A and B are shown apart, each in its own frame.
Chain A
Amino acid sequence: MTATHGTTTRTAAAHERVEVTLTVNGTPRTASVAPRRLLSDFLRHDLEMTGTHVGCEHGVCGACTVLLDGAPIRSCLTFAISVDGRELTTVEGLAADDGTLHPVQQAFRDHHGLQCGFCTPGFVMSACGFLAENPDPDEDQIREGMAGNLCRCTGYAGILDAVKQAAGAFAGSATHPCEQHRVDADATDGHDREA
């Protein structure tokens, strides 16, 4: 058997780079990325926003779902350079600045809609996109609407209940499903801010 053993080489990294400018959760960001860089990797490893998760990298599990100009997309099937000039919302962009959960997040908590939490950011973003599109869904529509994301832990019951509650919460709330939760001046107890 012939092989080159434990070889160490370093060639100067000469990757082509492209500059991208986009808005992430309301903040303008500029970065230079390789054209093949996936949006999921760009978010997770270049911007170090690791709330967006990767469960399959082939567009089936929905863990990587983010909102592009308000509509849910799979960030694992999207090149970072293709969102130049666009507006992204990730799971980090939903809770209020003091940590108060967004109504969708709060509903997941109220209904035990997560266990390990790995699929959760994807579900939360999908739910936001779904409710923006369909503010008053019935139970079958919720089940269909959430059927683009996989969860291996919960069996989905808590997730479906959560989306139902969230739909109701938006009816009387100032928050748009795709926007950061704003806390009313008189309700800033930050009761959910934890570790």
Chain B
Amino acid sequence: MTTKLVGAPVARSEDPRLLRGEGRYVDDLGQDAYEVAVVRSPHAHARIERIDLDAALEVDGLISIYIFEDLPQRLQEPLPLLIPHPAISHGRTQYVLANGEVNHVGEAIALVVAEDRYAAEDAVERILVEYEPLPAVVGPELARDAEHAVHDDIPSNVAAHLEQTIGDAPSAIADAPHRLSFRLDIERSASTPMETRGTYARWDADDQRLRLYSSTQAPTSVRAAVAAYLELDLAQVECIAPDIGGGFGVKIMHPWPEEILVPWVAKVLGHDVKFTEDRREHFVSANHERSQVQWIEVGFDDDGRILGLDVEFVHDHGAYIPYGLIVPIITSTQLIGPYKLENYRVTFDSVYTNTTPVTPYRGAGRPQGCFAMERTIDRVAAHLGKDRTEVRAVNFLQPEELPYDFGLMFQDGRAYRYDSGDFPGSLAALKELVDWDGFAQRRAAAQAEGRLLGIGMAAYVEGTGVGPYEGGHVLVEPNGTVQVSTGLSTQGQGHQTSFAQIAADELGVDVADVKVVTGDTRRFPYAVGTFASRAAVMSGNAIHLAARKVREKALRIASEALEVDAQDLELAEGQVRVKGSPDTAIDLNVVATMSNPLRYAFDEAARIATQFAQPGDPDAPPVADDDAPGLEATDYYSPTQSTFANGMHAVEVEVDPDTSDITVQRYAVVHDCGTLLNPTIVKGQVLGGVAQGVGGALYERMAYDEHGQLQNASFMDFLMPYATEVPSVDIDHLETPSPLNPLGIKGAGEAGVIPGSAAIAAAIEDATGITIDAMPITPSQLHDRRLAAASSTS
């Protein structure tokens, strides 16, 4: 019997190629393409008075320059508001090139096409743009104060206001024995994948077809958008997401201005054209996330049970709102975490600022929500003098209460209903993993040496695998190779391996015989995209369902050929064989050949399927009415709701008493994402997420000044953690299968990042006694807080 591959730590099949330097990222393609560079606004807010191209036209190697007025009418329309929501009263999106006004540093103004990027940048430097600077609105609070407007016709700066409620929070809080209220802030950060954005287009004038390669998390939607803007049939456009050097959310945004402009220019010029963003451009013109100011009011009883929670927050979505309200909606629902809240009210304003737009970055609103909820629980515990894990425990939803419907609407417009999970079990595992109860002793021992230790924890629930659907196609070729494809794209998650495991299990073949293609609209044109920890859940299950259909077809064909009841057959070792007597078998590739009735024996193997070799029933058509030639199938997975993963992190930090330097000493993760497809890959996802969580808590921030200038737009100043900044992490996996899908899986892609800021803040607070209500925090900020606290108590 073939051993089961789902759940096994199968080595990644993508690795040898990538390790040898044979990856194919967008900038590795199109060596003969013209390259583009973009004139970008140096101002956060300005009117464009004049653009003078004369000096640029002298540049050697220049091909052409385009500004807004040069564009065809369709390209002069604003980019789409991708996810409309009825609460968006004032939606604004950007133009592919600025139409007389710029609203953030980095906004595209002119497109230069040249023989190479050097020449294109030479020309960019010589383009003279005269601006009339306008007041810049920076930060969520100034936006809401509305002294100045980002968009003239939206004086309030508010794009949307949304409220959701469970029960009656204000009355519950008013009646509660204890009440607290406070404010909690999270600053801006960004995905910053190691590969920046890139788009490469080829227009084939003979075929009248466009091929687009883009470093995108949503190739099918990029294809559709490009077809719409270029006024082409979908059939004329194909979009391929080749190897992608990380996404983490930013590459779900689409279409970027360059994703429309590059294919348009390729068609206009009849020449390949490529855009490869540089790092500085990525900082200012690729989207950010996280910035929120949140006010909390909580009422609770003597045990710490939360009786009512009232949350109001302002979400800074930057200059435009292309991705709708996804991030704040996720905050406002996922904030609840593993707790039973019967009285909850959340309201938010999503506001415009003169900064780079905000769309999801791994975690997508959850780190802010987790920070709000977990810091609230810690405050409740501190107020009552209780252990922080005890207060969490009294508020947990119990396993037998699940599925649990909160009566809220989630980011997919569907019910916010937890499907399964064991929160008390997760907490017990975490306390054991980090030795929570032994911490008092460790602290005392450290104190005796004059060292400051602190411990903190944070819990989250993550809605993963959001719809509407993904599909999978599985085909067994007559040579025995199994071809699998799905429409969404891959940015390092190892889908080539994990999806092959799923198909191989169902078909009883060697995993090495399964070839997986993702993110290529030529192979699978229907898809939604890779985001919200959904790829494994959605495409994994779709591929499982498609492989199951192929399996059934193989059993049927083999059953006829072997004259054995299908129930007595199994698929194993590349054969369909009789259970218990494996010598009576037929190779799966032969079944594949037989599945396609032939006239022509183009090779020796094909002879068995030709018309005289396989006469069959003279009264039945060679291909039955309900059948199709080929050993292949397509299926889709489309769930009624998301599946909810959960987990908890605990962190021990040491704070240097003299310098306030913060060191993470221990980092423990308990994680439940249902059935594990490949534990090595899941562990990698968690570890990568934790590193981003630590970076977000201690190092990374987008430092805008009051003029809307990003002060740290390079890796020299935006401090992404190196190996020396990331702690080692202990992980314990629980597996509570999801009842919602056949594989029982939940998403794992984002979880690692969610509780980082909340848990690290709690640990710093525990070490120093300083209330931590804003993250990230630097040693110098902490030091100032400690000095201030010391002087106010002395």
CB distance A112 to B680 under 8 Å? yes
CB distance B18 to A34 under 8 Å? no
Provide the bound-state CA to CA distance between A3 and B111, in Å.
13
A-contacting residues, B680-699, CB 8 Å: 680-681, 683-684, 687-692
In the complex, chain A residues whose CB is within 8 Å of the CB of B716? 58, 60
Q: B37: shortest Cβ distance to chain A, in Å? A: 13
User: CB of A44 within 8 A of chain B?
Assistant: yes
User: CB of B79 within 8 A of chain A?
Assistant: no
Q: A112: shortest Cβ distance to chain B, in Å? A: 5
Mark interface residues in A1-41 (1 if CB within 8 Å of B CB, else 0): 11111111111111100000000000000000010110001
One of B45-53, B367-375, B422-430, B650-658 contacting the partner: B45-53
CB distance B19 to A154 under 8 Å? no
Q: Which interface class (under 10, 10 to 19, 20 to 34, 35 or more) fits B?
A: 35 or more
CB distance B53 to A3 under 8 Å? yes
Mark interface residues in A103-134 (1 if CB within 8 Å of B CB, else 0): 00100111010111111110010000000000
A119 in complex: contacting residue of B61, B194, B493, B729, CB < 8 Å: B194
Provide the bound-state CA to CA distance between A14 and B61, in Å.
9
User: CB of A70 within 8 A of chain B?
Assistant: no
CB distance B715 to A61 under 8 Å? yes
CB distance A156 to B492 under 8 Å? no
User: CB of A91 within 8 A of chain B?
Assistant: yes
User: CB of A167 within 8 A of chain B?
Assistant: no
CB distance B67 to A151 under 8 Å? no
CB distance A108 to B64 under 8 Å? no
User: CB of A137 within 8 A of chain B?
Assistant: no
Q: Which residue of B lies closest to A154 (CB)?
A: B688
Q: Which residue of A lies closest to B191 (CB)?
A: A152
CB distance B16 to A115 under 8 Å? no
CB distance B194 to A158 under 8 Å? no
A56 in complex: contacting residue of B14, B22, B491, B714, CB < 8 Å: B714
Provide the bound-state CA to CA distance between A151 and B194, in Å.
7
B-contacting residues, A138-162, CB 8 Å: 143-144, 146-160
B-contacting residues, A47-94, CB 8 Å: 48-58, 60-61, 63, 90-92, 94
Provide the bound-state CA to CA distance between A160 and B726, in Å.
11
In the complex, chain A residues whose CB is within 8 Å of the CB of B492? 114-118, 153
CB distance A152 to B714 under 8 Å? no
User: CB of B499 within 8 A of chain A?
Assistant: no
Q: B34: shortest Cβ distance to chain A, in Å? A: 12
Q: Which residue of B lies closest to A194 (CB)?
A: B16
Provide the bound-state CA to CA distance between A114 and B722, in Å.
15
B58 in complex: contacting residue of A11, A110, A155, CB < 8 Å: A11
Provide the bound-state CA to CA distance between A92 and B17, in Å.
10
A13 in complex: contacting residue of B60, B65, B493, B688, CB < 8 Å: B60
In the complex, chain B residues whose CB is within 8 Å of the CB of A99? 16, 20
User: CB of B31 within 8 A of chain A?
Assistant: yes
A-contacting residues, B36-85, CB 8 Å: 48-54, 57-67, 69-70
Provide the bound-state CA to CA distance between A144 and B722, in Å.
9
CB distance A155 to B195 under 8 Å? no
In the complex, chain A residues whose CB is within 8 Å of the CB of B48? 1
In the complex, chain B residues whose CB is within 8 Å of the CB of A192? 16
CB distance A6 to B21 under 8 Å? no
In the complex, chain A residues whose CB is within 8 Å of the CB of B279? 55-58
CB distance B69 to A7 under 8 Å? no
Provide the bound-state CA to CA distance between A55 and B245, in Å.
9
A101 in complex: contacting residue of B16, B70, B688, B714, CB < 8 Å: B16
CB distance A4 to B17 under 8 Å? no
Provide the bound-state CA to CA distance between A51 and B22, in Å.
6
Provide the bound-state CA to CA distance between A1 and B97, in Å.
15
CB distance B243 to A117 under 8 Å? yes
User: CB of B307 within 8 A of chain A?
Assistant: no
CB distance B720 to A152 under 8 Å? yes
Provide the bound-state CA to CA distance between A110 and B16, in Å.
11
User: CB of B192 within 8 A of chain A?
Assistant: yes
User: CB of B135 within 8 A of chain A?
Assistant: no
CB distance B16 to A193 under 8 Å? yes
Q: A187: shortest Cβ distance to chain B, in Å? A: 16
CB distance B687 to A155 under 8 Å? yes
In the complex, chain A residues whose CB is within 8 Å of the CB of B235? none
Contacts A116-B245, A143-B723, A150-B722; A6 near B688 (Cβ below 8 A): no
In the complex, chain B residues whose CB is within 8 Å of the CB of A114? 15, 18-19, 492
User: CB of B299 within 8 A of chain A?
Assistant: no
CB distance B714 to A8 under 8 Å? no
Q: Which interface class (under 10, 10 to 19, 20 to 34, 35 or more) fits A?
A: 35 or more
CB distance B193 to A116 under 8 Å? yes
CB distance A112 to B65 under 8 Å? no
Contacts A2-B52, A118-B194; A91 near B60 (Cβ below 8 A): no
CB distance B21 to A90 under 8 Å? yes
User: CB of B744 within 8 A of chain A?
Assistant: no
CB distance A6 to B66 under 8 Å? yes
Q: A94: shortest Cβ distance to chain B, in Å? A: 7
User: CB of A195 within 8 A of chain B?
Assistant: yes
CB distance A55 to B67 under 8 Å? no
Provide the bound-state CA to CA distance between A160 and B722, in Å.
12
B692 in complex: contacting residue of A119, A124, A152, CB < 8 Å: A152
User: CB of B12 within 8 A of chain A?
Assistant: yes
A159 in complex: contacting residue of B28, B66, B723, CB < 8 Å: B723
CB distance B70 to A1 under 8 Å? no
The residue among B21, B244, B494, B515 with the most chain A CB atoms within 10 A of its own CB is: B21
In the complex, chain B residues whose CB is within 8 Å of the CB of A37? 118
Provide the bound-state CA to CA distance between A64 and B90, in Å.
44
Provide the bound-state CA to CA distance between A119 and B723, in Å.
13
User: CB of B728 within 8 A of chain A?
Assistant: yes
Mark interface residues in B709-721 (1 if CB within 8 Å of A CB, else 0): 0000011100010
A-contacting residues, B334-354, CB 8 Å: none
Contacts A8-B63, A116-B194, A117-B245; A58 near B50 (Cβ below 8 A): no
CB distance B62 to A3 under 8 Å? no
Q: B9: shortest Cβ distance to chain A, in Å? A: 9
Q: Which residue of A lies closest to B117 (CB)?
A: A41
CB distance A108 to B15 under 8 Å? yes
User: CB of B23 within 8 A of chain A?
Assistant: yes
User: CB of B204 within 8 A of chain A?
Assistant: no
Provide the bound-state CA to CA distance between A151 and B684, in Å.
12
Provide the bound-state CA to CA distance between A195 and B729, in Å.
34
CB distance A51 to B60 under 8 Å? no
Contacts A55-B279, A194-B17; A156 near B22 (Cβ below 8 A): no
CB distance A60 to B25 under 8 Å? no
Q: A99: shortest Cβ distance to chain B, in Å? A: 7
User: CB of B13 within 8 A of chain A?
Assistant: yes
In the complex, chain A residues whose CB is within 8 Å of the CB of B724? 143-144, 147
Provide the bound-state CA to CA distance between A94 and B19, in Å.
9
CB distance B15 to A5 under 8 Å? no
Q: B562: shortest Cβ distance to chain A, in Å? A: 33
Contacts A44-B27, A119-B194; A155 near B20 (Cβ below 8 A): no
Provide the bound-state CA to CA distance between A153 and B69, in Å.
41
Q: B363: shortest Cβ distance to chain A, in Å? A: 14
The residue among B243, B515, B724 with the most chain A CB atoms within 10 A of its own CB is: B724
B494 in complex: contacting residue of A48, A49, A91, A115, CB < 8 Å: A115
CB distance A51 to B20 under 8 Å? yes
CB distance B690 to A152 under 8 Å? no
Provide the bound-state CA to CA distance between A99 and B20, in Å.
8
Q: B712: shortest Cβ distance to chain A, in Å? A: 12
B515 in complex: contacting residue of A11, A91, A195, CB < 8 Å: A195
Top 7 A-B pairs, shortest CB-CB distance: A51-B21, A118-B245, A116-B492, A117-B18, A115-B492, A155-B691, A155-B687
Sample 26 A-B pairs with CB under 8 A, ordered by A number.
A5-B70, A6-B66, A7-B53, A7-B57, A10-B63, A15-B60, A50-B25, A57-B279, A95-B20, A101-B20, A105-B19, A108-B15, A112-B681, A114-B492, A115-B493, A115-B688, A116-B244, A117-B15, A117-B492, A118-B492, A143-B724, A150-B194, A156-B691, A158-B687, A192-B16, A194-B17
* New A-B contacts (6) at CB < 8 Å, excluding given A1-B51, A5-B70, A146-B722: A9-B58, A11-B58, A109-B12, A116-B243, A117-B18, A155-B691
